[in-house]
Chain A
C-alpha cells in the first residue's frame, strides 16, 4: 500500500478515536458539573480543557470564565479552536476520502454519514438540552465505524495501520486523563470513603467508559489504587494502557510477518510493553504516578512518530 494511504488510514482512526474520547470527557465533565456548585463546576470544566490541551486557546478567547456551555461549544464546534470535534470528524472524513480505495464501501459510508449528521447537529450552538444528543451521536459514530470495519475489512496491512491509529490515540487519551487527574488517585490526598472521593473517582472512570466494568469487577468497592491499576494495567479493559499496548504489539507483529521485517518501532513498542507487563501498581506509586504517566505519554508519541517514519507515511 502507499505510504500516503497508510498515513491517511492511521489518522482517520486517530481522529475518530479522539472525537469519541473528547465526547466522553465532555459528558463526564457535564455530569460532574451538574452535581457541583458554580465554582467547583468551573474547576471541573477547566480540567476538561486542560486535559484536551486547549487551555491557551480557550483562555485567549474567554479568559478565566469556564461556564459550561461556553466550554463545550468551544470544544465541539468553535472555529477559534482548530481541534474542535467537528474539525476532527471532518479530518477523519477527509482522510477517508483520500484512502477511499483502501477502505470498504461500508466503512466509507459510515464515516461519511456520521460527518453529515454531526455537521447538521453542530451547525448551531449546542445547549445543555441538546448536549446529550450530540455526545451520543459522536459516540455512536465511532461504534458504527468500528463495526463496519470489523465486519468488512480484510485483515491486512491497511487494517493494522487503522488499528494502530486507534490504539496509539486511545493510549494517549487515557494517559492524558490520568495525567490531569492523577492527584485524585494519590493515596496521600484521599479521604478514603468520603463521598467527594467517590464522585471524583467515578468521574475518572466515567470519562474512560470504565465505571460499570470497574464496579462489576470490584463488587462496587471504590478505591484509588484499584482504579489506577484498572486503568493502567488491567489487560481486560479496552481503554487501559496495557490493553492498548497488547493490541499494538499484535498489530506491529502482523506487519513484521506480512512485510518480513522488524523496524525501530518494534523495539520502542516491545520495550514499552515489557515495562507495562513487568510492573505493579505499587511500584508505579513508589516511583510516582505523575512521573510514570508523563514518561508513558512521551514514549507513546515517540512510537507514533517512529511508525510514521518506518512505513514511509510521508516523503
Chain B
C-alpha cells in the first residue's frame, strides 16, 4: 500500500481540489496572506517555544536533553456538526470504560458472561490486585482520558487507542492555541473557533469534585505529582499545576501522616486531598508495587483504600489501555451501555487466536503489528514501510509470543496540509481529544491534540519519533 496514496481523505480539499466547508474561512484568509508570512511566523513561533521552555525530553537521547516538538502553523479544523457526533461517541466510550473498570475490580460480570476471556486479566501487570473490591471516591476511575482517533473518511472517525492511564499532551493543545492567537489574532476574528483555554479550570473543578471522604468540610487541596524535571512530560506537569493553582509535588515532598498524604511545606506538613499523579502505577507506592521506587509515597495505597486521598487516575486503569482489551471495546461498550458503539474500533486481529495469527503471518507486509502493552509507537512493526529483513526479524518475535501482539490494517489516515518549503503539503494526522470525568458528568474539551507525521507518507505521528503537532479547531455554530 502506498501510504501517501491519493486515496487518503484530505481534510482541506476534496478529490477535485475544491476546499471543503470546514476550511473555507481559513483558506480564504490564507490566500490573502503574503507568501512568506507563515514561514516567518514559523521561526517566530519556534523562538517563542524555546523562550517559554515548551520542550519535550526524549529518554535515551543524551545530546538533545530538551527538544522542541515541531509545531505546524496550519490548523486542523473540524466542523460543529462533525464534533457533535464525535463527542457523543467519545462520551459513550468513556462511560463504558469507567463501568468496565469498576466491574473488573469487583464482580467481573463481563468475564462471567463469557464476553471477555479471563486470560486477558490473568498475569496482566496492568491489572492490579490491590484495587480489587475497592471503589475510588465518586466511583471515578479515569478522571482524565485521551481517546486517540484516526479519520478515514468524511464521516468516519475510528478509535485507534484508549489512553486511560495518564494521557499526556494537553499542554500542547493549550499552548498551540495560545501561539496561534498570538501569531494570527485577526484570523480568530474571522473564523469562530471554540475555546479550549478553560481546560485547567475545568480540570481543577473536576478533580475537586472527586475529593475523598477525608476532605469533607473544606475546599479540597489538589496537587500534581511529577517524577521530576527529567521526565519527558515535566513541562506539562508544571504547566497544569501552575494553571490550576495546585502544588507541583515530587515523591520526596510527601509522606503519610495521620492517615493522610501530607506534603512538606515551609510551615509544616499539610494534607493533600486529591493527587493528580503523573507517575505510573508501578512507582506509586514502594510498599505495594516496585519496592525500589523513589518517585512515589510509601503507604499511599493504604491511605487511598481507607478514603484518605484520591488518586487520579485511579491505579489499575492502565488495564483499559491494553491493546488486547482494546480489541473487545465494541463488546465492552455494548455490555455496559446497552447501546451500539457510536465510534468504531480499527479492525484488529488478536494474534493469540490461531486463525488470526495465521492471517497476520501471511500478511505481515501489509499490517501494523503492535505489542499489547506497548505505547508511544515503540516495539511495533509497520509492514508496508519495513524491509524484508525487519519483517523477518519481527516474525520471529511474533511466533515466539503471539499473545503479546495484535495486528491492524494500515489505514489510509486522513491528511491535513502542513507548511513545507514548497508550500502546503498533505500529511497524515490523528486526534487526541481530552475528556474529564467526575461524579458531575463527562466533560469533553472541543478539539484536542492533533499529531502530525512530518515526513511525507509517514503514518507515525508520535512526538517521540519525530511527529509534530497542530492547533485543532472545532468551529462554532
Residues B214-263 near A (CB distance < 8 A):
228-229, 234, 238-239, 241-242, 246-250, 252-253, 263
* CB–CB B234/A4 < 8 A: no
C-alpha spacing A311/B229, complex, angstroms? 22
Q: Give A105 to B182 CA distance when docked, in angstroms.
A: 16
| Contact with B267, one of A97, A116, A259 (Cβ below 8 angstroms) | A259
Known: A2-B263, A311-B266, A312-B266. A101 touches B250 (CB 8 A): no
- Contact between chains at B263 and A109 (CB < 8 Å): no
Interface string of A280-309 (1 = CB under 8 A from B): 000000000000000000000000000000
Inter-chain contact A100/B248, CB cutoff 8 Å? yes
Please name the residue on chain A nearest to B48 by beta carbon: A109
Interface residues of B in 21-74 (CB under 8 A from A): 50-53
Is B266 a contact of A1 with CB atoms below 8 Å? yes
Query: Inter-chain contact count A-B, CB under 8 Å?
Result: 62
Residues of A within 8 A of B253 (CB): 2-4
How far is it, in angstroms, between the C-alpha of A315 and the C-alpha of B53 when the chains are bound? 29
Q: Does A157 contact B (CB under 8 A)?
A: yes
* Chain A nearest CB, measured from B262 CB (Å): 11
Residue in B closest to A311 when the chains form the complex, CB atoms: B266
Is A3 a contact of B229 with CB atoms below 8 Å?
no
Complex Cα gap A311–B252 (Å): 16
- Interchain CB contact under 8 A, B52 and A312: no
Q: Are B252 and A315 in contact (CB under 8 A)?
A: yes
Q: How far apart sit A2 and B250, CA to CA, in the bound complex (Å)?
A: 10
Are B238 and A2 neighbours in the complex by a CB distance under 8 Å?
A: no
Q: Which residues of B contact A74 (CB under 8 A)?
A: none
A8 nearest in chain B by CB position: B229
B268 at interface (Cβ–Cβ under 8 A)?
yes
Q: Give the residue among A4, A105, A109 with the most B Cβ atoms within 10 A.
A: A4
Q: Does residue B264 face the partner (Cβ distance < 8 Å to A)?
A: yes
Q: Are B268 and A312 in contact (CB under 8 A)?
A: yes
Chain B residues in 8 Å Cβ range of A94: 229
Give A133 to B178 CA distance when docked, in angstroms.
Answer: 34
Other-chain residue from A6, A112, A259 in contact with B51 (beta carbon distance below 8 A): A112
Interface: B265 (CB within 8 A): yes
Are A105 and B266 neighbours in the complex by a CB distance under 8 Å?
no
**Min CB gap A274→B, angstroms:** 26
Give the size of the chain A interface in residues (CB under 8 angstroms): 23
Task: Let me know if A1 and B229 touch, CB within 8 A.
Answer: no
A15 to B248 CA separation, bound complex (whole angstroms): 22
Chain B minimum-CB-distance residue to A258: B267
Question: What total of chain B residues lie within 8 Å of the partner, measured CB to CB?
Answer: 24
Shortest distance from the beta carbon of A214 to any chain B beta carbon, whole Å: 38
State whether B250 touches A97 (Cβ < 8 A).
no
Residues B51 and A113 in contact, CB atoms below 8 Å apart: yes
Contact A101 B248 (CB under 8 A): yes
A273 at the interface (CB under 8 A from B): no
- What residues on A are CB-neighbors of B229 within 8 Å? 94, 97-98
CB-CB under 8 A for A312 and B51, given A2-B247, A100-B242, A101-B248: no
Could you tell me if A97 and B238 are in contact, using CB atoms closer than 8 angstroms? yes
Chain B residue nearest to A100 (CB atoms) is B238
Nearest neighbor of A261 in chain B, beta-carbon distance: B267
- In Å, the complex CA distance between A166 and B33 comes to 49
Is residue A108 within 8 Å, beta carbon to beta carbon, of the partner chain? Answer: yes
- The CA-CA distance from A59 to B104 in the complex, in Å, is 67
A1/B52 contact (C-beta < 8 A), A100-B248, A101-B247 known: no
Note all chain B residues with C-beta closer than 8 A to A6: 266
CA distance A6 to B264 in the complex (A): 11
* Chain B nearest Cβ from A203, distance in angstroms: 37
Cα distance, A112 to B48, chains bound together (Å): 11
* A100→B241 CA distance, assembly (Å): 9
Q: Which residues of B contact A116 (CB under 8 A)?
A: 50-51
Contacts of B228 in A (CB 8 A): 98
Chain A: CB-nearest residue to B228: A98
Please measure, in the bound complex, the distance between the C-alpha atom of A101 and the C-alpha atom of B52, giving whole angstroms.
13
- CB-CB under 8 A from B268, the residues of chain A are 312
The reply to whether A97 and B266 contact each other, CB–CB distance below 8 Å, is: no
Q: How far is the CB of B241 from chain A (nearest CB, A)?
A: 5
Q: How far is the CA of A2 from the CA of B242 in the complex (A)?
A: 14
Q: Is the CB of A97 within 8 A of B248?
A: no
Closest Cβ of chain A: how far from B174's Cβ, in Å? 13
Task: Give A259 to B250 CA distance when docked, in angstroms.
Answer: 23
Cβ contact of B265, chosen from A1, A101, A109, A113, cutoff 8 A: A1
The residues in A between 69 and 116 inclusive whose CB is less than 8 angstroms from any CB of B are 94, 97-98, 100-101, 105, 108-109, 112-113, 116
B243 nearest in chain A by CB position = A101
User: Judging by beta carbons under 8 Å apart, are A4 and B241 in contact?
Assistant: no
Which residues of chain B are near A3, meaning CB under 8 Å? 253, 264-266
Residue of A nearest to B234 (CB): A97
Q: Which of B53, B241, B248 contacts A112 (CB 8 A)?
A: B53
A2/B252 in contact, CB under 8 A:
no
Contact with B along A133-172 (1 / 0, CB 8 A): 0000000000000000000000001000100000000000
Are A108 and B266 in contact, CB atoms less than 8 angstroms apart? no
Q: Which residues of A contact B250 (CB under 8 A)?
A: 4
A41 CB to closest chain B CB (Å) equals: 39
Nearest A-chain residue to B249, judged by Cβ: A2
Among B51, B242, B249, the residue within 8 A (CB) of A109 is B51
Q: How far does the alpha carbon of A259 sit from the alpha carbon of B267 in the complex, in Å?
A: 7
| A113 and B52 alpha carbons, distance in the complex (Å) | 8
Q: Which residue from chain A places its CB closest to the CB of B254 in the assembled complex? A: A2
Contact pattern, A 212-235, Cβ under 8 Å of B = 1, otherwise 0 = 000000000000000000000000
16 A-B pairs with CB atoms under 8 Å apart are A1-B265, A2-B249, A2-B263, A3-B253, A3-B264, A4-B250, A4-B253, A97-B53, A100-B239, A101-B246, A108-B52, A108-B53, A109-B52, A112-B50, A157-B266, A312-B268
- By Cβ-Cβ distance, the 7 closest A-B pairs, closest first, are A100-B238, A311-B266, A101-B242, A3-B264, A101-B241, A101-B248, A6-B266
- State the B residues within 8 Å of A (CB): 50-53, 228-229, 234, 238-239, 241-242, 246-250, 252-253, 263-268
A94-B229, A108-B53 are known contacts; what are 17 more A-B pairs with Cβ within 8 Å? Answer: A2-B249, A2-B264, A2-B265, A6-B266, A97-B229, A97-B238, A100-B53, A101-B248, A108-B52, A109-B52, A109-B53, A112-B51, A112-B52, A113-B51, A116-B50, A116-B51, A161-B266
A-side residues, CB < 8 A to B, are 1-6, 94, 97-98, 100-101, 105, 108-109, 112-113, 116, 157, 161, 259, 311-312, 315
